[in-house]
Structures are given as C-alpha cells and as structure tokens.
Amino acid sequence: MHISRLDLFALRNLADVRLQCNPHSNILYGQNGSGKTSLLEGLSLLSRARSFRQRDSKTLINYQAQELVVSARCEPASAEFVQTYTLGIKRPRTGSAQARCNGQPVASALDLSSLLPLQIIEPQSFSLLEGGPLQRRQFIDWGVFHVEQGYKAHWRAYQRGLKQRNELLRRGRISDELLAPWSAIVAEHGTALGCFREDYLAVLAPLVTEQLSRYGALGDVTLAYQPGWSVEYANLLEALVASQDRDRRRGMTTVGPHRGELRVLVAGRVASEVLSRGEIKLLVYALKLAQAQFYAKKCGEPCVLAIDDLPAELDYRHRGEVLAAVAALKGQSFITGVDRADFSPFHREIGSASMFHVEHGAVTAEKDAA
C-alpha cells in the first residue's frame, strides 16, 4: 500500500499541512527545526499510536492547540488487496488518543500497525546494535508480527499470562499450585513466540547478507537468537518451574521470550565490538531494509519506509547505495535531509521523486523532481 494524501494539524510546528504524496519517493528537505522530523512523527502516530521520539504523544500537540490530528488516505498496491481507506488519529490534551479507519474505531496500536505497516530508520535506530536487548526484541517482533498471522494471538495471550503471573509473584508467599496454571500459559505461548522468532531470523539472515552486498563486505554476519531461558532446561515450562524461588524474591518472571536476545555477530564476534561507527550504520540499514524486503515478499505488497536525516548518517557513496536499495523495494518512502543538494546527484537512484521544502512548519511541493 501507499499513502496518497497526508494531513497534519497542530503537530508540533506543523499547524495545518496537506501533502499529495508520491507513491514512491518523497524527499523532504529543510533546516533543522523546520518540521521534517515532525512529519515523520505523524506517520509514526498513524502506525503505532506514538512517536518514535517520545512515548507521551501529548507533548506533540502545538502549544496553541487543544488537540492534534493526523490522517492519511491509503491506497492498495493492487486490486487484489483491500480498497482505499482513510486512517486517522486524534490526540487531545485531556483524555486518550482516538484512532479510526473509515470512521470506525481502531481498537489497539497493534491493529493500527496492521493497517499501516511502517518501517522507520532514524538516528536512534543505530542503537539497535549498541543498546540493550529490548530494542533488538522489538526489531524481531516488528518483522514477525507483520508476516505471521498467528503471532499476534500468541503475543496477546503471553502478555496476559505474564501479567497475571507477575501479579501473583508480587504478592509474596504464593504456592506452587497457584503459580502452576499461569506458568503453563506463559510456557505454551512463550514457546510459540520463540519458535516464530527463530524461524523468522532464519529467513531474514540471507536477505541481510543480500542487502550488505550492496555496500561491500563487512564480514560474515550471522543472526543468533537466545530464547530467554537457559539451554540446560528441556523447555520453557521446566525453566519457569526451576526459577520460581528466584521469581518470588524478585516479584517478577525472570525467564521467557520477554528476556530473549538477538545477537548480531560478525565473524563470530558481537557486531558492536568489531565494527566502526560507519559500518554499524550500514549494518542497521541492511537489517531494516531486509525486513522491508521480506515483508514485501511475504505479504505481496511493500511497507512504507520513513528515513530521517539520511544524508547526515551516510557518506556520499553509501548514500547512493542506500537510496538504490530503497528504490529496489518498489515501495513508498519518506526521506528527510537538510539540503536539497544532498539528493540532487542521485537522480537514477531516487527516480521520479517528489521534492518538498519544509520551512517554519510549512511544506511546499516543488514542481521539479529530484
């Protein structure tokens, strides 16, 4: 699918903006603070009910307004998919955010993500390799959620079971008999989540290698998944039973896929320990674009890409290689940068892009494409 029209009202300094969007490349350029990243935050709100920069979406509301509104007209990639639909989200200063699709309420952020699959690459994405395991779990879960139909149901059941088990553990002296049914639920759905994740990474790994081949060799890159419990146990249920005393002391479940970890290795060593900062950026691009590539292959249509400040993160040669990789996905992208000249040399890679100049919260479409 792609977004044909994007409307933003009172989102930071974007007071009232409408974009007629290119189904392929949309380049937004302007000085820092002009509103480029805010526009990508609007896309994030539509897809995830939150910004990729801040969890509290109330902080995104323009100081002169009482609410922000973002809406998009979404077009199917081909006639075999669902018809055109309108997706919108409203966030008032008081009360909760309200999301709608064709005027009907959208129940959850997970449902929003299904309606607008969005892959975001922004400066903080590069902590994927250098940061904690939570970011790497989120990376895996984005991919599995969007390509495996059964994942959402297991995820919700696991979260419910984990919440109930943790509530019991926080009460203190709880018997094994009371914990047992919740341990069984956590084990059942947690095992399924682990299998989904491992299968997904097995398919993703060769696509990462394919993406990396565009940039030159970084070494032999492998993706290794650690499920969140020790291999000394035959299964998750056995690990949960063995950890009960420790879990009671800590008041929380200490084993399971919520403690899983993705290890990205180069020649058998942790990538963040052996790669330069520039190589880490390229590897993150390869990981994210491989996800988008697999999504398109599995689902039959591409996801939307949002890439913030691409020129600042890459040198001239690699900028062209990444833009070519994005174009090869044949999907829609929104890419920001400070200077139009940062994109001008890449006519062939970008193709017939739409160029937008962003200044003081106003967005102006240029007549001439890149």
pLDDT at 55: 82
Mean pLDDT of 329-346: 93
Token code pair at residue 21: 């969007």
Mean pLDDT of 285-308: 95
Q: Quick one: which H or E segment has residue 101?
A: strand 98-101
Global pTM value: 0.93
What fold characterizes domain 1-117+306-370? Rossmann fold (3.40.50)
User: Of the candidates 58, 81, 225, 208, which has an alpha carbon nearest to the alpha carbon of residue 140?
Assistant: 225
pLDDT at 29: 96
**Residue 274 · residue 266 · CB < 8 Å:** yes
Amino acid identity, residue 111? D
Q: 227 versus 217: which is more confidently predicted?
A: 227
Token code pair at residue 93: 């200063």
Distance (Å, whole) CA 181 – CA 193 = 18
For the chain, the structural domain boundaries read 1-117+306-370
| pLDDT surpassing 70 at residue 80 | no
CA distances from 353 to 8, 120, 244 (A): 21, 19, 57
**134-153 confidence digits (pLDDT tens):** 999 999 999 999 999 899 99
Confidence of residue 215 (pLDDT cuts 50, 70, 90): confident
- Measured from the Cβ of residue 208, the count of other Cβ atoms closer than 10 Å reads 23
Distance (Å, whole) CA 295 – CA 149 = 13
Confidence of residue 78 (pLDDT cuts 50, 70, 90): low
**Residue 237 · residue 184 · CB < 8 Å:** yes
- Helices 151-170/176-212 angle, 10° precision: 140
pLDDT at 369: 54
Confidence of residue 345 (pLDDT cuts 50, 70, 90): confident
| pLDDT surpassing 70 at residue 183 | yes
Looking up tokens 């398919």 gives: 203
**Residue 306 · residue 38 · CB < 8 Å:** no
**87-112 confidence digits (pLDDT tens):** 999 999 998 999 999 999 998 988 99
| pLDDT surpassing 60 at residue 79 | no
